Chains A and B, each alone.
Chain A
Amino acid sequence: MPHRTFFWFILPTALAMILFIGLPIVSSFFQSLHIENEQVLMEVENCDPFGCTTNVRVDVEATEKIEAENPLGRFNGFGTYTDRNHLAFDEIREAWDNKTSIGEFKDTVLNLPFYKALLFTLTFCFAVTPPVIVLGFIVALSVNTLAKKLKGFIVFGTILPMIVTPLIGSLVLFWMIDSQGIIGASIQILFDDPNLSLKASSNLTWITLIIYGIWHNTPFAFVVFYAALQTVPQDPLEAAFIDGASRFERVRFIVIPHLYPVATFIMLICLMDNFRVFEPIIGFSAEGVAQSLSWMIYQDLRNENKMLFGSAGATSMLTILGIAFLLTPVLIRTWKEFKTER
């Protein structure tokens, strides 16, 4: 296809992507270099019959004027990146100097907002992915053995958790697990502890969120494994059968090696998608004990008084760095695949 024709065909979609994906990233970066304007303070002298007092108050007019001139705020360089709510270099240095033990230092660091969120995000990613792959594989194997007539309905039932949006999915589970819901109440009766509830401890909340993550992500792994199972070659399976391999041995030595590349694909997609975990935290009302990087950005943008564009931008940039780190293997794989295709 000549360059000219190609250009006109690709123009609309390229324009959409550049304007609404490329530029926002640049805009986010730009915002992260700025910080909100300071309020202009002025001293006012209040005189009444008992004498004069001077108060400091916000000069609304002057503040608004600055705001109108500089809506983005003042330039702050990389200041926002290193402040307490982000990488917190000063706080970490201080904690390191004053530490009495490594454990204490670790606690201090993990209580800083950014590191707390990073810890949860990574824990979520790496706790959810392995069970998803194992469960997805088992479900795919067992659906594959079913009669054809049943398959349609069972596949539909299995993929439901993936189809609903994470917010609705987590709400539906939350309403059951909540201390007043069916599962929550039953557990309270079972352990005879009326105070046992999801919100009782942060560990329980984290576990619930991870269980939700597994519930939501397994269908995806199942579908991909299920399709891949159809491509397993029959000849080696037959040969192994003749040589007396048991069913388990056939799965272990023929099917699993054949599915390795598919499993890596699922793992990478899962890690990437779970790195943005955010809606379940809202669905489970778990903001108090579990914050993720995406949730931090949402919170900055939802700030009641003033949207903290600078802070949200800085967290966004750091999140993108994390994604880039996770994405590298996918890119390398795609690169190789494309090279061999040519």
Chain B
Amino acid sequence: MNQTINKYSKQIIIVNSIFILFWLTISIFPFIWTLWGSFKVKADFFSRADWTYALSGFNTLIETGATTTIKAYLESWTEGEFGRATMNTMIVTVSVVSISLFLGTLGAYALSRSTFKYTFYILIIALVFRAMPHITLVSGYLFPFFQLNIWGILPTTIIVLVAINQPFTLWLLYSFFKTVPKELDESALIDGCSYFQAFRYIIMPVMWPGVVTAGLFSMMLAYNDFTVTALLLNQHNYTMVPKINAYLGTVEYGGNYMWAVSSVVSATAPLFMIIWFFQRQLISGLTAGAVKG
């Protein structure tokens, strides 16, 4: 029976394939185009005269003597100090992921195991916090941070990103902890474990899939953030995304477009690779709260 239902007629298969191809083109092509263009000079990638120059590398050949060039990469990584920005991003991302997982697992475990009513209110408050636009929070940070003289440095930004990330991490881990049977840690408690020991030695080992998913989302938030990093860090400490924005407009870098193009490639490539490996976890996390309803 199932076979007949799921058998598709030829027309449907054809229409479907065309649609999927069309859709994939829309979602992937811009990235491929940027990757390709990053190896050309500006006159080719932004060619007024003829867009086929971007394919043939007409001006690139004239300017550099070859049809492809890695000039933009070399310059942005040396003169543009993109390496420093990469380093900052790595520091921020690793710290944010580890701290928010540590705080989040502790909190979510408690929320999933307590039977008192206040857990519900804590979760609701977290939901409200999750909805706050980041820029409104930043407008609240700046003044106190200037007064306390902690503006512009990486640790401040890391703590802020951890906090902004907590509501989502809590909700996600909470729904994962709910799926771990209570009997597991209850039996450990009867055997004489403390709550912390039960959490550490009994529950955590079976929670890895949930932790990986939550870590992935923390990573994307920290890696991709623009609002917080652009306003809370000084130019010297910029992470990759605000750095790319700085290449575009400021006098300092002379609006060097090709640096921005090559940096966009440098910044997205590692992200895409990580997502390729952890696709499953990402999708399970996105649907965790949604499908129940």
Contacts and interface: CB of A to CB of B under 8 A. Distances in A.
A320 interface: yes
Contact of A146 (B20, B245, B271): B20
Interface in A145-189: 145-146, 152, 154-161, 163-168, 171-173, 175-176, 178-182, 185-186
Contact of A16 (B4, B48, B162): B162
A156 B248 CA distance: 29
Contacts of B56: none
A167 B279 contact: no
B283 interface: yes
Contacts of A317: 136
A13 B106 contact: yes
A138 B22 CA distance: 13
Between B2, B13, B133, B162, the greatest number of chain A beta carbons within 10 A of the residue's beta carbon is seen for B133
A154 B30 CA distance: 16
Between A20, A72, A220, A319, the greatest number of chain B beta carbons within 10 A of the residue's beta carbon is seen for A20
A17 B122 CA distance: 11
Between B102, B163, B167, the greatest number of chain A beta carbons within 10 A of the residue's beta carbon is seen for B163
B133 A323 contact: yes
Interface string B128-148: 110111111111111110110
Interface stretch (A46-54, A100-108, A123-131, A233-241): A233-241
Contact of A241 (B5, B16, B245): B5
A174 to B, nearest CB: 10
Given A20-B160, A31-B139, A158-B24, A13 B104 contact: yes
Contacts of B62: none
Nearest to B289: A265
A175 B113 CA distance: 51
Contacts of B223: 165
Interface size class of B (residues with CB under 8 A): 35 or more
Nearest to A318: B136
Contacts of A294: 133, 135-136
Interface in A285-342: 294, 297-298, 300-302, 307, 309, 312-313, 315-317, 319-320, 323, 326-327, 330-331, 333-335, 337-338
Given A168-B241, A223-B286, A278-B135, A13 B272 contact: no
B170 A276 contact: no
B226 to A, nearest CB: 5
Nearest to A168: B264
A10 interface: yes
A118 to B, nearest CB: 14
B127 to A, nearest CB: 6
Nearest to B160: A20
B244 A167 contact: yes
B293 A316 contact: no
A262 interface: yes
A276 B20 CA distance: 30
Contacts of A302: 231
B45 interface: yes
B139 A312 contact: yes
A12 B244 contact: no
B109 interface: yes
Interface in B216-231: 220, 223-227, 231
Given A17-B126, A181-B51, A220-B286, 8 more contacts: A21-B132, A142-B20, A180-B48, A241-B4, A241-B5, A262-B291, A278-B133, A331-B127
Interface of B: 1-2, 4-5, 8, 12-13, 16, 19-20, 23-24, 26-28, 30-31, 33-34, 37, 45-48, 50-51, 54, 102-104, 106-107, 109-111, 113-116, 120, 122-129, 131-144, 146-147, 159-160, 162-164, 166-167, 170, 195, 199, 220, 223-227, 231, 241, 244-245, 248, 260-261, 264, 267-268, 271-272, 275-276, 279, 282-283, 286-287, 289-293
The 7 A-B residue pairs with the shortest CB-CB distance in the complex, in nearest-first order: A24-B140, A20-B163, A9-B110, A165-B224, A13-B107, A227-B287, A316-B136
14 contacts: A21-B129, A24-B140, A31-B143, A143-B20, A157-B27, A163-B220, A165-B226, A167-B244, A247-B12, A266-B290, A294-B133, A320-B132, A331-B127, A337-B292
Interface of A: 1, 3, 5-6, 9-10, 12-14, 16-17, 19-28, 31, 71-72, 138-139, 142-143, 145-146, 152, 154-161, 163-168, 171-173, 175-176, 178-182, 185-186, 215, 219-220, 223-224, 226-228, 231, 234, 237-238, 241, 247, 261-262, 265-266, 272, 275-276, 278-279, 282, 294, 297-298, 300-302, 307, 309, 312-313, 315-317, 319-320, 323, 326-327, 330-331, 333-335, 337-338
